[in-house]
Amino acid sequence: MSVAFTQPALSRSTRSFQGCSDRIALLDRWGTIVAVNESWTELARQTGATPGRVEPGANYLEICRQASPFCPDAREALAGIRSVLCGKSRSFVMDYMAALRSGPVYFRMAVTPFAHGEAEVAIVHTDITELQVSKEKSLDRVREFARRLVNAQEEERERIAKDMHDDLGNRIALLSFSVQGLINRRNKEKNSRLEELADVLHKITDLSFALRQLSHCLHPHLLRNFGIGVALKVLCDEFAKTTGIRIETIIPNDVPHLTEESGLCMFRVTQECLHNIAKHAEAVSATLMLESTPASLRLTVSDNGRGFLQSVAWHKAGLGLTSMKERVLGLRGQLEIRSAPGAGTEVRVTIPVAGHS
């Protein structure tokens, strides 16, 4: 492969790159471009760069610096090139997307030392669009599998919830009525076992309530009938009553309408977060915040508990954390967990709303 540099003063060894498809530029110690190949010039033309802006004589570091306030990729490239130029790093590599006139193209930029004449480093941009497209297709397949798995879990939960309500719930209710009738008859006879029967009835009532709560958790009817805002408020109220942990809920009145999948995702993630707070955090208080934008919905659940080492938690990730990741991944969302020993924990989930996935 070869590079056609616009600087004829460079030796034959550099001219041997003529015709290389990679976009290559050589920089001096101050970041000034001393040579580029034809492919580099063609890339500049395709991106609509001003003639001469990225050609020999222009300072590439200054170009990146000017773009850095508006472009995270430019900031990353600037830091990487400086690191190689000053000898702090032996090389630097980053992937980025460029908007060409023909459409988006993905490149891998590699910065390596290149001591020849005035040149100090070589910058090579390699087209990795096919690789990126292949990765995105693979990720789409993973997302689709995760969505199917989550949907299957929800269908099974719904079936179990209905069976519990229709079968076990009715049986307990009939048993309760039978015991109540027996108490009534014994009360007339002033039987000494009246208190024992009353205690049995009380336990049956508690069991019926616990079964109903479990049924609602398996398949949250509030979510379907009243929306995510009401469902989360009720879930937090029950959490506070059961655990004694104070929880502040910040939920806007105008929560956007969510698909059933998105609503279930937010509800299940909240359930898992509250479960972990009650079981592991040793927290006194917690906060749930729901925020919406035209493009996304963000859920943040935090506590003031003991926290944990994230590296250890991810290494020992259990079924709950894995399920959270699967749900969020299936909706093209983002899951962030921030924690440190003694600093509490914050879980943040962001998912796109309908039409912005």
The model's pTM: 0.46
**46 vs 105: which has the higher pLDDT:** 105
Is the fold of 12-127 the same as that of 221-357?
no
- Whether 317 contacts 278, CB under 8 Å: no
- φ, ψ for residue 30 (rounded to 5)? -95, 0
Fold of 221-357: Heat Shock Protein 90 (3.30.565)
Q: How many CB atoms lie within 10 A of CB 66?
A: 13
Confidence of residue 48 (pLDDT cuts 50, 70, 90): confident
Q: Which residue has the tokens 């920089």?
A: 27
Q: Taking all residues of the chain, what is their mean pLDDT, rounded to a whole number?
A: 79
Confidence of residue 204 (pLDDT cuts 50, 70, 90): confident
**203 vs 229: which has the higher pLDDT:** 229
Lowest mean pLDDT among 4-8, 245-249, 326-330: 4-8
Residue 284 pLDDT exceeds 80 = yes
Find the mean pLDDT for residues 72-79. Answer: 91
What percentage of the chain carries pLDDT values higher than 90?
Answer: 27
- Whether 96 contacts 73, CB under 8 Å: yes
CA distance 165 to 159: 10
What pLDDT sits at residue 6?
Answer: 44
What pLDDT sits at residue 7?
Answer: 45
- Whether 147 contacts 265, CB under 8 Å: no
**189 vs 129: which has the higher pLDDT:** 129
What pLDDT sits at residue 167?
Answer: 57
**156 vs 279: which has the higher pLDDT:** 279
Where do the structural domains in the chain lie, given as residue ranges? 12-127, 137-219, 221-357
Q: Which residues, listed in sequence order, are joined to residue 36 by a DSSP beta bridge?
A: 25
Find the mean pLDDT for residues 64-71. Answer: 88
Residue 150 pLDDT exceeds 80 = no
Digit-coded pLDDT (tens) for 2-12: 344 444 444 44
Confidence of residue 18 (pLDDT cuts 50, 70, 90): very low
CA distance 221 to 231: 8
Residue 180 pLDDT exceeds 90 = no
Identify the CATH assignment for 12-127 out of 3.30.2010.10, 3.40.50.1100, 3.50.50.60, 3.30.450.20: 3.30.450.20
What pLDDT sits at residue 223?
Answer: 80
Lowest mean pLDDT among 19-28, 54-63, 233-242, 326-335: 19-28
Digit-coded pLDDT (tens) for 93-138: 999 888 777 778 888 999 999 888 889 999 999 888 887 777 777 6
Order across the sheet with 23-27: list the strands.
33-36, 23-27, 119-127, 103-116, 92-100
